[in-house]
Structure 1
């Protein structure tokens, strides 16, 4: 049984595995024959980056190491996330095997943390460009380059003062030819994360892994977490993507 992992949103400081709108996809996934796994990760009030990605990678290793026990297919693992969870899903997708973002003390250090398909719904990617993209769009969005921003709280310092650390947290930094397929959606009216984050990320992925492995859809008029992302039709799109990249790979 193929599996995909749900990573919840919540701006890095709130939420848990039961609180995401992505739970709406659960029954449809089960009906398609998937194992559906929801995970928690340490929030920014508990630990700073890279603890969050350490936790997600540890969960992937645990599932792969114990796949036989759970009747799962260990080779085929997908990950889906929205907002902060979309960011973590994207980072997992590009940083497979990157030891700098692993924490072997969390267990199963000899097991791969790579995934075979990624769904990123309106996640941030490059914290350093968020403010300028809102300016370019004429959208009065949430400010990122201040010490009180959610991204700065995640990193433990005003992000404008730590460009090197921001680069280490950016999924684009780790893009490589062996990255999995990506399904990316974002809305043009998002006031939390500018849609250009997804446009730029998808563009950089396509250069390296090719157009056929990157699906990007910009939804006109959609805001952050709007219902357009969770309609029956859109859930079918997401599951069709997983079918194509997990069940037939």
Structure 2
């Protein structure tokens, strides 16, 4: 299924529901005429149990339509199974399967398979960072064994699941038990345990008034990356909450910060 959108004098081609696997679909966004553009893959949040493709639609449209055609991105929104359907590692397998599809099909939607960035929010930031930092980790599944992420952006993400108080049981439902019951799974599922010097460049953003995932999550993750010698940047915003990346007030500034960094990095 596809539709079109005109952004100024340029046309943005949107193709929704493209089959990535028998169970997973993706949405692609490209500016007509663009070839070999960096690819930005968006991973939605929702506590691993809700959310859907479309949450990053405004981001994806702006990524594809931004600036002169030669400076735009090709954009993709991917999906993964919710935790009430399958527990971890199903979600990271799904993200990797979609990333494999992106690499294999990038040229069909104007993208460069050797310049792929992943941008995630909340639970999506967790999965984005896990895919970036542990491309050959112990999660099984069928996916491209080569690293598929060349830059990563995490917004408001939880990166050490062992440190989560999990008062509402979200993490237990996602991982299939408590940290006392399955400590190895908690460690394997935490991006912070996969930090290494060869990690792709990583940009972390977090609101200081986030009442869902504390800002310390990104601060600690950035510190670990820096200690390992990896390239990283941290931005924290006073007064910003958990979903500030989608707010009318914050969106233009956060979008520009992320896209500028991606243009410099990819």
Paired position in structure 2 for 1:127: 161
Matched residues in 1 for 2:125 and 2:146: separation?
21
Matched residues in 2 for 1:229 and 1:75: separation?
34
Q: How far apart are residue 229 of structure 1 and its match?
A: 8.1
Of 7, 23, 27, which aligns to 2:57? 23
SS of residue in 2 equivalent to 1:218:
strand
SS of residue in 1 equivalent to 2:127:
helix
Matches within 5 A, 1:1-249: 1-18=37-54, 20=55, 22-32=56-66, 33-98=72-137, 100-104=138-142, 109-110=143-144, 112-131=146-165, 144=166, 148-210=168-230, 213-226=231-244, 227=247, 230-246=250-266
Q: After alignment, is 216-225 or 67-76 more displaced?
A: 67-76
Matched residues in 1 for 2:252 and 2:140: separation?
36
Segments of 4+ moved more than 4 angstroms: none
Point out the structure with the larger helix share: 1
**Can you list the C-alpha shifts for 1:180-226, whole angstroms capped at 9, x where unaligned?**
1111111122111111111111100111134xx21101111211112
**Can you list the C-alpha shifts for 1:148-199, whole angstroms capped at 9, x where unaligned?**
5111100011234322211010101111222111111111221111111111
Seen in structure 2, the aligned counterparts of structure 1 residues 120 and 229 have a Cα distance that, compared at 3 Å, is farther
Q: How far apart are residue 111 of structure 1 and its match?
A: 5.2
Q: Structure 2: which 5+ runs fail to align? A: 1-36, 67-71
Seen in structure 2, the aligned counterparts of structure 1 residues 9 and 172 have a Cα distance that, compared at 3 Å, is same
Does structure 2 retain, via aligned residues, the 8 Å contact 1:25–1:230? Answer: no
SS of residue in 2 equivalent to 1:24:
helix
What TM-score do the two structures reach when normalised by structure 2?
0.79
Q: After alignment, is 185-194 or 220-229 more displaced?
A: 220-229
Paired position in structure 1 for 2:34: none
Q: How far apart are residue 120 of structure 1 and its match?
A: 0.3
- Provide the alpha-carbon RMSD of the alignment: 1.8
- Count the aligned residue pairs: 223
What TM-score do the two structures reach when normalised by structure 1?
0.84
Q: Structure 1: which 5+ runs fail to align? A: 132-143
Paired position in structure 1 for 2:3: none
Seen in structure 2, the aligned counterparts of structure 1 residues 162 and 184 have a Cα distance that, compared at 3 Å, is same
Q: How far apart are residue 93 of structure 1 and its match?
A: 1.4
SS of residue in 2 equivalent to 1:11:
coil
Which structure has more relative contact order (CA 8 Å, sep 6+)? It is 1
